[in-house]
Amino acid sequence: MPVDLQALYPRLIHLMLDAVFVVDRDNTIVFVSDACEALLGYQACELIGTPITRYMHPDDLEATRASIVRVMNGQPHFDFRNRYIRKDGAVVHILWAAFWSDEVGARIGVARNVTALTEAEQELRFLAHHDPLTRLSNRSLFNQRLAAALQAAQRQQQPLALLFLDVNGFKAINDLHGHALGDRVLCAVARRLESCVGSSGTVARMGGDEFTILLTDSHTAAAVSERMAQILAVMAEPLGDAFGGLAMPSCSIGVACYPADGLDADALLSHADGDMYEKKRRKYSAEAR
């Protein structure tokens, strides 16, 4: 007995895990498959007869309209991504395959939810330039920003400052209280440094308990000293009860200024690192006396 495919097609469409949309030339939705409710949170009866642009993320409207024009001009689009706003207000990332059908006078699109994939891609891109623990810039991104800042300083003939910070006695925290608490301390240090620097500079974790700070808005020795005093004051504030009474460790900060202490990134980093270790040595020598 032959299979009646014509009768089967509507059921197959509603069985698809991806959502099917049919939209007329006025951008009005004329059909959606059952999967659309899982995608956008609306039932078919809520969507049919409404403009599809109503549900698009406003920041993606321009690019989406360009894709619509392309499809209506007879050029199928099989890899277009945009964002929609679900009924519950959440944002969903969608991968589209769409074409225009002259037979029905509408464009037909298949929509796949790629929110999890998009978020994973964004996280991978973020981690390429950021420290996974503290979420600060990593060494690679810091070096890029330092190089760009040096080029700008050379063109504008303006100084910049580079700070190298080390947490004193951090190894003892890991040894006595465990690495989990040590990681929380590093995150606390990161947030405090960010609060001091703001958007005008860059804070990076270079590895372990070492951090670097790029200051491009401190153009005098007095301004650099003032910023270092602010950092030391903020770093001296107690950790709070959430850390089980652990005292906030002190820190040592070395400084290098362009152009006085070096003309390139390597020279500045070496000078700031050496200055930090000299201050740490003096601190421990004074405590030993």
Residues of the chain with CATH 3.30.450.20: 5-120
Instruction: Tell me what pLDDT residue 116 has.
Output: 97
Question: Which CB contacts under 8 angstroms, 24+ apart, belong to 183-187?
Answer: 183/133, 184/243, 185/239, 185/243, 185/246, 185/248, 185/249, 186/133, 186/134, 187/133, 187/134
Give the three-state DSSP class for 84.
Answer: strand
The pLDDT value given to residue 23: 96
Q: How many C-beta neighbours within 10 Å does residue 168 have?
A: 14
pLDDT on residue 21: 96
pLDDT score recorded for residue 234: 92
The whole-number pLDDT of residue 9 equals 66
The yes-or-no answer on residue 4 being catalytic is: no
Which residues of the chain form CATH 3.30.70.270? 129-288
Distance of CA 114 to CAs 15, 59, 91, 215, 220, Å?
19, 18, 11, 39, 50
Q: Domain 5-120 carries which CATH code?
A: 3.30.450.20
- pLDDT at residue 284, rounded to an integer: 67
3-state SS string over 46-63?
A: HHCCCEHHHHECHHHHHH
Per-residue confidence (pLDDT) for residue 200, from 0 to 100: 79
Catalytic choice (131, 209, 273, 275):
209
Query: How far apart (Å, rounded) are the C-alpha atoms in residues 2 and 164?
Result: 78
Which stretches of the chain drop beneath a pLDDT of 50? none
> How far are the Cα atoms of 134, 186, 187, 216, 245 from residue 239, in angstroms, in the given order?
16, 11, 11, 29, 8
* Partners of 95 in beta bridges: 81, 112
Fold of 129-288: Alpha-Beta Plaits (3.30.70)
